[in-house]
Each structure stands twice: as structure tokens, then as C-alpha cells.
Amino acid sequence: MRLLALIFATLFLGACASHTPRPEPVISDWQQHQSALQNFNSWQLEGKLGYRDSRDGGSAWLNWQQSSDAFKLLLSGPFGTGATQILGNSHHAELRRSGKETLYSPSPAALTEQLFGWQWPVDELHFWIRGIPAPNTTQDVSSHNLDGTLSTLTQANWQLQFSGYQQVGPWILPGRIRGNSGEYSFTLVIKQWHLDMENH
């Protein structure tokens, strides 16, 4: 009986240990965290984008590839057959769609007006998807979660909510971003990150 009780006790303790929750990552220094993520500029992410205005809405699968200031956004699903691409760098952007003339602009946001009917803030989103404000745009209001991550942000006339944070390599990154600006809104759900660890 004593041996049987010892076996049960061992199994019970093992079960408790296997279900012990791991501690959540905590950001102890927001300024240091923000500065480090500003230098995190090579990645690939996959996600789902939902967008809406006062009249219409839709969704698309998003693949975002970033290497320093060069970017490529592939949107598939809502804009006809084949993928829609917005690509460029800090100086120019172009919109490529199957069977249509390539469009050029200094700003990727201006090109998204051809897709949504309004400008999606791609330049600022380049930072928002990392869970930090865009450094070159006026920041009005922000709030933080108990673990130090960004919870809400008002910037570039957008009200943003960040949630679903997870540890991705050395970073703590949001999994969902919701934005509203008047009649326009979007929700970006990030399904997977692929990090270029050679550049970090």
C-alpha cells in the first residue's frame, strides 16, 4: 500500500508540474524595448486583413516581407485572380495587379486607395505591427498593459488597439491590431512570423 501511495503521489506531482503555467514575458524598460524594435527591420509575416468603410468591406490574406527599408506586401483573395503586390522602399512604391498597368507613387499608402477606396497607413503600420508607435509621426495618446506592452495608441488620425502578444524569438510582438479612423477600420491578425535572425 505504501508503494502504491508513493506511485500515486509521484504521478500527481508530475501532473501538477506539467500544467504549471509558464511566466508571461514582461517589458521592464519601455524606452529600451521601443528602441530595440525600431532596429528590428527584417522579417516576413503572414496574416489576415479585414477592412471596412461606411459602405463596404472585405478581407485578404497578407504576406509582408521586409528587408531594411525594402518591402513587399502580397495581398490575395479580394482583388480578382492572382495576388496583388505593393512593393518598394522608403523612396518609392509600386502597385502590381494581374492584367493591369503598374502604378507608381512615393507612398505605399496612396496606392492602397486603389484597392480599398481609402489610404491604409502602410508607413506607420510598418512600426505598429511591431507593437510600437511610428517614430516620425506625432503620437497623441497611448496606454500600456500590465506587462509593459502597448495596449492602445492614437496616431496619424487612427485609434489602435493591440492584443494577442506572444514571444517571437527575442521579441514580444502583437498578434492582433485593430484600427479605426472615422468611417474606416481594419483588423490585422498576424498568424505567423518568420524572423531573419542573421540581421539581429
Q: Do residues 135 and 127 lie in contact, with contact meaning Cβ atoms separated by under 8 Å? A: yes
| Among 13, 135, 118, CA closest to 56 | 118
7 pLDDT above the threshold of 90 = no
* pLDDT value of position 200: 45
Give the number of C-alpha atoms closer than 13 A to the C-alpha of residue 12, restricted to the C-beta side: 6
125 pLDDT above the threshold of 90 = yes
- Look up the domain containing 185 and give its range: 34-58+104-195
Domain count for the chain? 1
The answer to the question of residue 77 being in a domain is no
Helices (H) and strands (E) in the chain, counts: 4, 13
Q: Do residues 43 and 66 lie in contact, with contact meaning Cβ atoms separated by under 8 Å? A: yes
3 pLDDT above the threshold of 50 = no
The answer to the question of residue 159 being in a domain is yes
The answer to the question of residue 175 being in a domain is yes
22 pLDDT above the threshold of 60 = no
C-alpha 135 chain-centroid distance: 16
10 pLDDT above the threshold of 70 = no
Instruction: Report percent pLDDT > 70 for the chain.
Output: 82
Query: What does pLDDT average to over the chain?
Result: 84
The answer to the question of residue 38 being in a domain is yes
For residue 44, the surrounding DSSP H or E stretch is strand 42-52
The answer to the question of residue 5 being in a domain is no
C-alpha 75 chain-centroid distance: 15
If you average pLDDT over each of 18-22, 33-37, 89-93, 159-163, which comes out highest? 159-163
- For 167, left (φ over 0), alpha (ψ -120 to 50), or beta? beta
Report the distance separating Cα 171 and Cα 187, nearest Å.
22
Tens digits of residue pLDDT in 142-156? 999 999 999 999 999
Question: Can you tell me the mean pLDDT for 106-126?
Answer: 91
136 pLDDT above the threshold of 90 = no
CATH number at residue 48: 2.50.20.10
The answer to the question of residue 2 being in a domain is no
The answer to the question of residue 74 being in a domain is no
Tens digits of residue pLDDT in 41-78? 899 999 999 999 888 888 899 999 999 999 999 998 76
Strand order in the sheet with 93-96: 103-105, 93-96, 84-88, 70-76, 57-67, 42-52, 184-195, 176-181, 158-163, 150-155, 139-144
Confidence category of residue 132, pLDDT binned at 50, 70, 90: very high
The answer to the question of residue 111 being in a domain is yes
